[in-house]
């Protein structure tokens, strides 16, 4: 079974709730039900996933499975032996399963979806949770057909649904009268605009309350929500900006410099010219245009820029880019904190083309 949906749409919470019901039903029927939840962003190799599940089935006297060192096939054999010994039903939940496939391929999924052919006294069920609706397109058709026998799509929450979630949390965690009118509506609307992420709405509300407390104000109003939104945006983007490699920082620097000069929908050619000029000022060898195009794609994937391909008629296709960094974040200053060369590049004068 596969569960799809954007982050914050309730996939993991619903899965845990249903697993709890299955455990209760198993006790009621006198059947053994075991559940195993693996976060594939943390446990992200074939060996570690199998080792983690098999270790949870260990009994006193069993040989411990090391974190590394055994052949993966041997660990898989131990897993089958321990499942067979335990009997009952085993439910494996692989959260962020797309991350595992991206790093380790789909070989493990083939093994896990084939476990029942090796089990006589036990049964195994695999549940995959993914944020990527197109994730199965990366899979071998045999794996995809086994894994996608049941697909459940979690649609993004709308503003009214998010507001219901917030109202329930507020009634349990805040005194009456603490929130000004419009606060829940604003938190819900802002979160609904960002893919309907309920976690985002809860974070907005939590930080809004903190902002009011910091100012010794007894009522949270929409101004605190706006402050919280800026804080969240800053906290999300700043660590990424600081850890970017030098040439990606120089690319972002070039885009922001052009935007500060009034240019929008910046061509890759203009971006490259400013980038090469910045490299010259700090005595760094510029990368090739082809490599820069690849780095722009990576920045687009990270959500730091918005890139789109545009047709130029017989001239072919070109890419235009704009910064996607919130205005509340001073990108150049932030990157300069971790890379002095960016601060040095910012001191120079540039031959920039402004918006006509």
> What's the CA gap between 85 and 340, in Å, rounded?
60
> CB–CB of 270/346 below 8 Å?
no
Is 13 annotated among the ligand-binding residues?
A: yes
Is 11 annotated among the ligand-binding residues?
A: yes
Q: Is 244-346 a CATH 1.10.10.10 domain?
A: yes
pLDDT at 316: 61
Is 169 annotated among the ligand-binding residues?
A: yes
Tens digits of pLDDT across the chain (356 residues): 889 888 888 899 999 999 999 999 999 999 999 999 999 989 989 999 999 999 999 998 899 999 889 999 999 999 999 999 999 999 999 999 988 888 888 889 999 999 999 999 999 999 999 988 777 777 888 888 777 667 888 888 899 999 999 999 998 888 888 998 899 999 999 988 877 888 889 999 999 999 999 999 999 999 999 999 988 888 888 999 999 999 999 999 999 999 988 888 999 999 999 999 999 999 999 999 999 999 998 998 888 999 888 766 665 667 899 999 988 789 999 999 999 999 999 998 888 876 54
Range(s) of the chain covered by CATH 1.10.10.10: 244-346
> What's the CA gap between 120 and 130, in Å, rounded?
30
> CB–CB of 320/266 below 8 Å?
yes
pLDDT at 356: 44
Query: Which residues are CB-contacts of 24 (< 8 A; sequence separation ≥ 6)?
Result: none
Is 291 annotated among the ligand-binding residues?
A: no
Q: Is 159-238 a CATH 3.30.1330.10 domain?
A: no
pLDDT at 308: 85
> What's the CA gap between 263 and 242, in Å, rounded?
25
pLDDT at 314: 62
Task: Return the CATH superfamily for domain 2-154.
Answer: P-loop containing nucleotide triphosphate hydrolases (3.40.50.300)
Residue in 44, 167, 172 with CA at minimum distance from that of residue 103: 44
Residue in 137, 41, 118, 40 with CA at minimum distance from that of residue 76: 118
Range(s) of the chain covered by CATH 3.40.50.300: 2-154
Q: Considering the entire predicted model, what is its pTM? A: 0.66
pLDDT at 21: 95
Is 283 annotated among the ligand-binding residues?
A: no
* Cβ neighbours around 46 below 10 Å, total: 20
């Amino acid at each position: 079974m596969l569960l799809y949906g954007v982050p914050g749409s309730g996939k993991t919470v619903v899965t845990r709730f249903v697993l709890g019901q299955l455990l209760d039903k198993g006790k009621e029927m006198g059947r053994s039900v075991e559940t195993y939840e693996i976060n594939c962003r943390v446990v992200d190799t074939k060996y570690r996933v199998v080792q983690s599940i098999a270790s949870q089935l260990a009994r006193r006297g069993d040989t411990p499975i090391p974190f590394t060192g055994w052949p993966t096939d041997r660990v898989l054999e131990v897993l089958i032996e321990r499942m067979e010994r335990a009997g009952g039903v085993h439910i494996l939940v692989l959260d962020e399963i797309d991350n595992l496939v991206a790093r380790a391929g789909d070989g493990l999924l083939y093994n896990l979806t084939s476990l029942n052919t090796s089990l006589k006294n036990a049964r195994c069920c695999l549940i995959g949770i993914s944020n990527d609706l197109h994730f199965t397109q990366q899979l071998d058709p045999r794996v995809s057909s086994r894994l996608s026998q049941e697909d459940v799509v979690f649609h993004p929450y709308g503003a009214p649904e998010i507001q219901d979630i917030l109202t329930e949390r507020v009634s349990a965690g805040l005194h009456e009268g603490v929130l000004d009118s419009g606060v829940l509506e604003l938190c819900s609307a802002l979160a609904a605009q960002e893919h309907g992420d309920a976690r985002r709405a809860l974070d907005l509300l939590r930080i809004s309350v903190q902002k009011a407390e910091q100012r010794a104000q007894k009522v949270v109003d929409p101004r605190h929500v706006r402050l919280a939104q800026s804080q969240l945006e800053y906290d999300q983007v700043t660590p990424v900006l600081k850890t970017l490699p030098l040439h990606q920082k120089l690319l972002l620097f070039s885009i922001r410099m052009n935007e500060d000069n009034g240019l929008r929908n910046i061509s890759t050619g203009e971006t490259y010219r400013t980038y090469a000029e910045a490299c010259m000022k700090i005595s760094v060898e510029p990368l090739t245009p082809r490599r820069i195009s690849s780095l722009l794609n990576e920045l687009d994937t990270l959500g730091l820029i918005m890139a789109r391909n545009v047709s130029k008629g017989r001239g072919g296709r070109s890419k235009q880019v704009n910064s996607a960094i919130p205005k509340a974040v001073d990108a150049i200053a932030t990157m300069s904190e971790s890379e002095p060369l960016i601060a040095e590049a910012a001191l120079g004068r540039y031959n920039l083309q402004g918006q006509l």
